[in-house]
Amino acid sequence: MTRLVELPEWRDLKQHCSEISKVHLGELFRREPGRAQTLSIEDCGLLLDYSKNWVTAESMRKLFALANAVGVKQAAERMFSGEKINVTENRAVLHVALRNRSGQPIYVDGKDVMPEVRAVLDKMAVAAESIRTRQKLGSTGKPIRNVVNLGIGGSDLGPAMAYEALRPYSDRELTVRFVSNVDGTHLAEATRDLDPAETLFIVVSKTFTTQETMTNAESARRWLLAALAGPSVAADPQSEKARKIVGSHFLAVSAATDKAAAFGLDPQSSVFAMWDWVGGRYSLCSAVGLALMIGIGPTNFFRMLNGFHAMDQHFLDTPLERNMPVVLALLGIWYNNFFGLQTHAVLAYDQYLSRFAAYLQQADMESNGKSIGCDGSPVAWQTGPVVWGEPGTNGQHAFYQLLHQGTKIVPADFIGFAKSHNPLGDHHAKLMANLFAQTEALAFGKSADQVRAELEAQAKTKNQAPRLDLVPHKTFPGNRPTNTILAERLDPETLGKLVALYEHKIFVQGVIWGVNSFDQWGVELGKELANRILPELQATNEPELKHDESTNRLIRWFRQRSRN
Ligand code: F6P
């Protein structure tokens, strides 16, 4: 392929960028009445208003031309048809099969994967219902009421985010928690008020080797066995007695069934399959979502899958110009690659989406945080942005100062809903007033003339001299780009659509940048070194340290201080 930056479409955009960068958003709105409608897409129950961006209809045409030139549509078709587009791991990328509600087959290596997908979903539904109806009993005969998901990264962030997002749909009599950190505090705090006899752990790990998850699983097993059978059984988790108890209080989700079996679980009844063609960060719709399904029930889980599928179809079938993931992706490319903006904020005005930005951080940064292209050579352009965010309105009282008046421009997505699950007084109108106010303020700002006039008017009423030295401080330059994404209500379908919207946005960006969005080699070195350092921290004799001078000193400091 011609190098991205040498494409005529890229060069054209570069030229166009220098022209558009001279025009303020306010001016774009003045010049183009009807802009808000032209630069909006309403589909799939979502409204995407992208008119408050540094683009004209012409800019969008040039961006779509770029998407066409790199073959975004063809790439999407390759993904949906099960081609092994994860080239470094020689795997298909088929999270769309997990929520394929069409009844159509999807093939990997000539085999339709849909029967297996459906079988696992059915098995999940049976397990979820048995807990939700309190028929699933622990080893002492008490019904299971507490579910603790033990997983990290994609085996945690998706279900944790979605469980929080869909709390209004959850069984409030069940306790569902998510433990990810290898810091023992996480597990200790999550279990301290739970009755072990009523607690089920779900060990979620595609590989079943992840240090954090396996450490938590072993500690959880010890905690459970010690409480239900005493310390001697806890010390021998492979004993028959221990395995029986573990069988009643543990489930596993993994692509490595043999390893889950070695942990003491029956592969038929207690292990839920995953497949190598599902990436961890794209696995929410697989059995990785089991804790979520237990919490919200199979019906709501399937509603979520329907939402995912609706957005998958939108992405696959809609022309680029009306394709929401494509538009978001191109705007991200526009800012990242042509204006040099390095971060992207996701600002959800819904408390239930409090984990959404954290979830998207992994989805986006682990996917596109790459500097080597699919062909193995370094890319000569910027790739994935730093993604971050907090729910509104909290962020307004924390970091929005920088968004409005800082020296950095942060493109942002604002997400909000017409209806609240908790219509308390006028809270929701206030929440949404803030969302709309922020995008307006960011785009249009407040001029020095306006500030001066206000200061003079205020001073006049107090019979004082106006503090005109404050004019520059109180001026808002505006011209800060934002997208607004609205939906009627944060329900299971909408959540599915939102997540799929971002998944496909990330995919499109990866295609344009020419990186493999589905591997994550960048996490390996830290794991490798931690495995080398761990015995050095634990050694009873002074170990010979062969790291750099700084790391050696830090290890010695820890060894000394942690013992006294
Ligand atoms: O280390 C990164 C990572 O591999 C993620 O990609 C993944 O979601 C997470 O670890 C957990 O992996 P697993 O499900 O195999 O425990």
Structure confidence by residue, pLDDT tens digits, 169-198? 999 999 999 999 999 999 999 999 999 999
Distance from Cα 85 to the centre of ligand 1, integer Å = 19
| Contact 369 CB / ligand 1 (< 6 Å) | no
Find all residues with CB under 8 Å of 267, minimum gap 6, and list them.
Answer: 257, 258, 260, 261
On the question of pLDDT at 564 being above 80, the answer is no
Q: Is residue 154 within 6 Å of ligand 1 at its C-beta?
A: yes
* Catalytically annotated residues: 366, 397, 527
Mean pLDDT score, 365-372: 98
Residue 1, pLDDT > 80, answer no
pLDDT of residue 362: 98
Ligand 1 pocket member 221 (CB < 6 A): no
Pocket flag, ligand 1, residue 520 (CB < 6 Å): yes
pLDDT at 335: 98
- pLDDT over 60 at 283, yes or no: yes
Closest residue by Cα to atom 16, ligand 1, is: 205
Pick the residue whose CA is nearest to atom 2 on ligand 1: 523
pLDDT of residue 449: 98
- Cα 210 to middle of ligand 1, angstroms: 7
Looking at every residue in the chain, the average pLDDT score rounds to 97
Query: For residue 87, what pLDDT is reported?
Result: 97
C-alpha span between 529 and 537 (Å, rounded): 12
Overall average pLDDT of the 103-119 stretch: 96
Give the pLDDT confidence of 475-523 residue by residue, as tens digits: 999 999 999 999 999 999 999 999 999 999 999 999 999 999 999 999 9
Please give the number of the atom of ligand 1 that sits closest to the Cα of 151: 16
For residues 91-120, average pLDDT: 97
Q: Could you give the C-alpha distances from 525 to 182, 231, 400, 521, 530, in angstroms and in order?
A: 18, 37, 35, 8, 9
Q: 131 with 259: CB under 8 angstroms?
A: no
Mean pLDDT, rounded, for 413-426: 98
Helices 211-229 + 524-538 axis angle, to 10: 50
Q: Of all protein residues, whose CA lies closest to atom 13 belonging to ligand 1? A: 205
Residue type present at position 89? E
Q: Examine the pLDDT at 59 and tell me if it is beyond 60.
A: yes
| 231 pLDDT above the threshold of 70 | yes
pLDDT of residue 176: 98
Closest CA to 367 of 264, 527, 504, 174: 504
Tell me: cis bond preceding 540? Omega within 30 of 0 counts: no
How far, in whole angstroms, is CA 344 from its chain's centroid? 13
> What is the C-alpha separation between 208 and 165, in angstroms, rounded?
27
Average pLDDT on 440-461 reads 98
- 336 has a pLDDT exceeding 90: yes
CA atoms of 263 and 275, how far apart (whole Å): 19
- Residues 400-403: contacts with CB within 8 Å, 24+ apart? 400/438, 403/345, 403/442, 403/480
- What's the pTM? 0.97
Q: How far apart are CA 120 and CA 286, in angstroms?
A: 8
Mean pLDDT across the stretch 349-353? 98
Q: Is 430 exposed, middle or buried (0-12, 13-18, 19+ CB in 10 A)?
A: exposed
The pLDDT of residue 209 is: 97
Pairing of strands 46-49, 482-487: antiparallel
Above 80 in pLDDT, residue 271? Answer: yes
What percentage of residues in the chain have a pLDDT greater than 90? 99
**Ligand 1 near 155 CB (within 6 A):** yes
Residue 465 amino acid letter? A
Does the CB atom of residue 336 touch ligand 1 within 6 A? no
Helix (H, G, I), strand (E, B) or coil at 354: coil
What's the rounded Cα separation, in Å, for the pair 499 and 494?
9
Closest atom of ligand 1 to CA, residue 520: 6
pLDDT at 2: 63
Query: Which residue out of 86, 152, 181 has the highest number of ligand 1 atoms within 8 Å of its CB and is therefore the one to mutate?
Result: 152
What is the pLDDT confidence band of residue 553, given thresholds at 50, 70 and 90? very high
CB of 338 closer than 8 Å to CB of 13: yes
Among candidates 153, 120, 203, 169, which has minimal Cα distance to 295? Answer: 169
270 CB within 6 A, ligand 1: no
Residue 356: what pLDDT? 98
Residues in the chain: 564
The answer to whether the Cα torsion of 320, 360, 102, 274 is positive or negative is positive
Q: Measuring from atom 3 of ligand 1, which residue has the nearest CA?
A: 153
Select from 206, 288, 529 the residue to mutate for testing ligand 1; criterion: most ligand atoms less than 8 Å from CB.
206
pLDDT of residue 418: 98
Query: Average of pLDDT values for 156-167?
Result: 98
Residues 26-35: tens digit of each pLDDT: 999 999 999 9
Percent of the chain clearing pLDDT 70 (strictly above): 99
Please say if the pLDDT value at position 470 is more than 60. yes
> Could you tell which of 523, 528, 529 is best to mutate to test the pocket of ligand 1, judged by most ligand atoms within 8 Å of the CB?
523
Which regions of 151-293 does DSSP assign to beta strands (E)? 175-179, 199-204, 250-254, 271-273
